[in-house]
Structure 1
Amino acid sequence: MQTEHQDLKKEFPQLAARMDALQQSNTHFAEIFDEFNALTAEIEHIERNDAATGDSALEGMKKRRLALKDELYRMASA
């Protein structure tokens, strides 16, 4: 399965500098940013390698990633 890498700084280039600053100054932001990237890597690995995982487990991971993305966007654009 072909999957597109999700990179928040490329997706929201207008917020890239703000995200960099928040990663340095806001522990909560840095933690959820790291969680988003780790989850993205895991999802991409599963999709790229058709790794054995239940559809509901993968769906849950994608929902969590979307929730993290929403929170990161909200914090960066505040």
Structure 2
Amino acid sequence: MTHTPHRLAEDFPDHSADIAALRRSDAHFARLAEEYDQINDDIHLSEINVQPLEDMEEVLKRKERAKLKDAIYAMLTRARL
């Protein structure tokens, strides 16, 4: 565990321009990205003990973050086709 936030543009550096464009042009993508950012921030704050979460809550948030990341990646790869 690195205790650093997972930003989408850092996780998908080859797609950073697509991420920015889709945040502006696709409301569904923007909602997913915002939800990802919020969950990611919650996890990060828990990791650094600023706002700790119960163990199960953190596990569930990590699973939700992974699910959102997969959905975002699918949209990014379709945007390139």
Q: Structure 1 length normalisation: TM-score?
A: 0.90
Alignment map for 1:1-78 (pairs within 5 Å): 2-49=2-49, 51-78=51-78
**RMSD over aligned Cα, in angstroms?**
1.6
Q: Deviations over 1:30-66 (max 9, x none)?
A: 0010010011111100110164432111100000000
Matched residues in 2 for 1:50 and 1:30: separation? 27
**Runs of 5+ in structure 1 lacking a partner?**
none
CA contact (8 A) 2:45 2:52 kept: no
- The number of residues matched between the two structures is 78
| Partner-residue secondary structure (3-state), 1:49 | coil
Give aligned-pair identity as a percent. Answer: 29
* Structure 1 stretches of 4+ moved >6 Å: none
CA contact (8 A) 1:36 1:69 kept: yes
**Runs of 5+ in structure 2 lacking a partner?**
none
| Partner-residue secondary structure (3-state), 1:5 | coil
